[in-house]
Amino acid sequence: MFSIGTLGRRTGTKVQTIRYYEQIGLMPEPGRTDGGQRRYEDVALDRLAFIRHARELGFSLGAIRELLELSDSPERSCAQVDAVAQKQLSDVEARIARLEALRGELQRMIRECNADRVADCRILEVLRDHEKCLADHGRPDA
């Protein structure tokens, strides 16, 4: 059994974040001492480590909740877990595509800027005139 501070240190999670996860039901309410201090067991450490790793991989709290529920029922099919992970992969790939388009546009703006004066700066010109920005054309959300 250990305190919330120890749990936080062992998982690299802030105490406020642990309390938040308890409030929203991702972490179960811990036992308490007679003095009201939270006391955690190793199972809480494992669950919090799972949550932290899932967050690092970009999973939303809703997706983590779903994964935890599935994890709590080991006899269930893994197909639902695969579907959650596949959706996360699709979201990551979409973000990468947007970032690559942004990188290309920034590289183009910088490459085309040969001005000596701010008044002639191609970067500022493109930022002022949205029509000159190539990254907007072909973005799915544009």
Give the pLDDT band of residue 142 (cuts 50, 70, 90).
Answer: very low
For the chain, the domains span 4-71, 79-136
**Tokens describing residue 118:** 């701010």
Residues linked to residue 38 through DSSP beta bridges, in sequence order: 32
> For the chain, what is the mean pLDDT?
89
Between CA 109 and CA 135 the distance in angstroms is: 11
End-to-end CA distance of the chain: 52
23-75 tens-digit pLDDT: 999 999 999 999 989 999 999 999 999 999 999 999 999 999 999 999 999 89
**Tokens describing residue 119:** 């008044």
Whose CA is closest to 39, among 48, 29, 49?
A: 29
Q: Are 51 and 64 in contact (CB under 8 A)?
A: yes
113-140 tens-digit pLDDT: 887 888 888 888 888 887 766 655 444 4
Q: Tell me the three-class secondary structure of 7-20, residue by residue.
A: HHHHHCCCHHHHHH
Q: Which fold would CATH assign to domain 4-71?
A: Multidrug-efflux Transporter Regulator; Chain: A; Domain 2 (1.10.1660)
Could you give the dihedral angle defined by the CA atoms of residues 72, 77, 78 and 83, in that order, rounded to the nearest 10 degrees? -100
Establish how many alpha carbons lie within 13 A of residue 4's alpha carbon, considering only the half-sphere containing its beta carbon: 19
Q: What 3-state DSSP class applies to 57?
A: coil
